[in-house]
A and B are shown apart, each in its own frame.
Chain A
Amino acid sequence: KQEVTQIPAALSVPEGENLVLNCSFTDSAIYNLQWFRQDPGKGLTSLLLIQSSQREQTSGRLNASLDKSSGRSTLYIAASQPGDSATYLCAGPHSGGSYIPTFGRGTSLIVHP
């Protein structure tokens, strides 16, 4: 069974910093990994989906990488802004080719002005 761990659990930084959020997984047979954002009291917003054939994906100031051999994915946020404050979650398949996703517990990010 896949286990997904996100470190750190919480992060508080001043505006303008470049950030790295970490996601580790135990089953390296995953075929993709997703990153989401969740604002308080809201549902998740899909940020990036990295297929196993890709090493990284970029969207604006966000860049996500996937290293299956080390069981790690990182989400890089450039030039952080207060509007980036949210909880960031990663998810990978439950096991191998399973359609069931396993979510991490998230990193709660606060970017203060």
Chain B
Amino acid sequence: NAGVTQTPKFQVLKTGQSMTLQCAQDMNHNSMYWYRQDPGMGLRLIYYSASEGTTDKGEVPNGYNVSRLNKREFSLRLESAAPSQTSVYFCASSEAGSPSNQPQHFGDGTRLSIL
């Protein structure tokens, strides 16, 4: 079972470059999320999508854009990467609801370094 698939797994960017992180789930879930995980900071929600066509800001949305392309796919875009965006990015999904009230299924992450 694939579950939540993230691509790429690793990426190095230069400051100012743009990039899109891809996420797809095969569990027919309605809700999808993007988090970042930094040492000493814990996971923080970047954006969340309760259904196709809807997105909401999380705790740290600045510098990011998202697209809920269809029910399966939720992408995260960095328009002009900054060193402060160096992090591990996780995509997650749940059957419905919000990230605070439903069990979530996580991908294995994208490790992004910005020089």
Contacts and interface: CB of A to CB of B under 8 A. Distances in A.
Main secondary structure of the interface of A (DSSP, over half): strand
Interface string A80-104: 0000000001011110001111111
A10 B48 CA distance: 31
A100 B99 contact: yes
A105 B92 contact: no
Main secondary structure of the interface of B (DSSP, over half): loop
Nearest to B91: A43
Interface residues of A, number: 25
A100 B42 contact: no
Interface in A25-50: 31-32, 34, 41-46, 49
A92 B4 CA distance: 23
Contacts of A4: 42
Interface of A: 4, 31-32, 34, 41-46, 49, 89, 91-94, 98-106
Instruction: Enumerate the 8 nearest inter-chain pairs by beta-carbon distance, A residue then B residue, closest first.
Output: A43-B106, A99-B98, A46-B103, A103-B42, A93-B100, A103-B43, A44-B106, A101-B100
